[in-house]
Amino acid sequence: MTRPVIAIHGGCGVMAKLDLSGADWADARHGLGEALLAGWRTLNEGGSAVDAVEAAIVIMEDSPQFNAGHGAALNAGGIHELDASIMRGADLGAGAVTLVRRIRNPIRAARALLEQGSPVMLGGPEADNFAARSGLDMVEQSYFTTERRVASLASLKAKALEGTLKSASEAEKHGTVGAVALDIAGHLAAGTSTGGYNNKPEGRIGDSPIIGAGTYARDGVCAVSGTGAGEFFIRHAVGHEIASRIAYLGESLAAAAAYVIKSDLASYGIGAGIVAVDAQGNITAPFNTDGMFRGWIDADGNLFVGTHADVSSVLL
Ligand code: ASP
């Protein structure tokens, strides 16, 4: 029996340390802890890595703290268009939805596609219709909207007009949630869900629903979920690239992930981060921004959460 592990992220768009109030930190930490525990309980009850990833992501989609589900980013037209995917390492089964507007928990729709087997990906209104036919909870657009995202959209539009977009904070731009897990049967899984970035063009699809880019899992190698400038994750096929470095170069999980995030992607000056776990239960969570909401429960059952460079250990 494998000792299970789970790791999650709540996006690399964390506010600068000085701007993060005690209350913000407590809320974020609470959301991360709840998501980790939901996944961990699933694993300890003998649930699969896919079940654990879905359980953890649903909690973060339901929390207004994170850019996914309730609290998701708004596109340039003031609309929420959500992306999500999930992958099972055992057989490379995968499901993904993109540009969905009415599914309360897009990760559940991705899971339903995974279970159906084919197609791997559905987009737009037909993805919404698939979720409704599958009996998933459907909501109005207003369900996803929070004051913080409305303010971020207004601020980014103003900066775009002034030509000062580069000064926008990572928190205004980014978000995304993701989870990776190793279950007691030794299987890996990964999942990612996002509203994309604030003020993104209508119809823009990021890396989060792209298998091999924002999400990837392969038994015996690793499971990866990413956050950051999706266009670069797609071009570098980040999830698959990390798995390939491990499988073909024999690199450790930490070395492969650090290389891709801190060398390959950092060279563009864009924000990026991932969480990943390998078949031995090693966990890594590199990022090149000020911070990344993240947490994990290791094989000894120790829970850790962090926002910036420091990571706190919490006794379960
Ligand atoms: N990766 C997401 C996207 O490009 C955004 C983010 O994680 O900040 O849609």
Quick: pLDDT tens for 17-39: 656 677 777 888 888 999 999 99
Q: What is the pLDDT of residue 28?
A: 80
Residue 194 in contact with ligand 1 by CB distance below 6 A: yes
The whole-angstrom separation of Cα 124 and Cα 81 is 8
Query: Helices (DSSP H) in the chain: which residue ranges?
Result: 22-44, 49-62, 106-116, 124-133, 147-162, 170-173, 230-235, 238-249, 253-258
pLDDT digits over 161-183, tens only? 888 777 676 666 668 999 999 99
Nearest CA owner, ligand 1 atom 9: 196
Q: Tell me, in angstroms, the distance from the centre of ligand 1 to residue 11's CA.
A: 8
The whole-angstrom separation of Cα 278 and Cα 282 is 5
Structure tokens at 169: 């904070």
The structural domain count of the chain equals 1
| Structural domain range at position 74 | 5-314
Nearest CA owner, ligand 1 atom 5: 196
Kindly provide the b/e burial profile for residues 90-128, where b requires at least 16 CB atoms within 10 angstroms of the residue's own CB.
beebbbbbbbbbbbbbbbbbbbbbbeeeeebbbbeeebb
Global pTM? Answer: 0.95
SS3 of residue 51 by DSSP: helix
Q: What is the pLDDT of residue 169?
A: 66
| CATH code for the domain in which residue 287 is found | 3.60.20.30
Please report, rounded to a whole number, the percentage of residues in the chain having pLDDT higher than 70.
94
Nearest CA owner, ligand 1 atom 4: 230
Structure tokens at 19: 């701007």
Active-site positions read 176
The whole-angstrom separation of Cα 6 and Cα 267 is 29
Residue 208 in contact with ligand 1 by CB distance below 6 A: yes
Q: What is the mean pLDDT of residues 131-155?
A: 95
SS3 of residue 175 by DSSP: coil
CA dihedral of 131, 103, 97, 144, whole degrees rounded to 10: 180
Q: Tell me, in angstroms, the distance from the centre of ligand 1 to residue 315's CA.
A: 31
Model confidence at 315, in pLDDT bands (50, 70, 90)?
very low
Residue among 174, 204, 293 to mutate when testing ligand 1 (max atoms within 8 A of CB)? 174
Residue 206 in contact with ligand 1 by CB distance below 6 A: yes
Q: How many Cβ atoms sit within 10 Å of the Cβ of residue 157? A: 15
At residue 121, φ and ψ (nearest 5 deg) are -135, 135
Residue 228 in contact with ligand 1 by CB distance below 6 A: yes
246 versus 163: the higher-pLDDT residue is 246
> Strands 222-228 and 272-278, how do they pair?
antiparallel
Q: What is the pLDDT of residue 267?
A: 84
Residue among 85, 100, 192, 207 to mutate when testing ligand 1 (max atoms within 8 A of CB)? 207
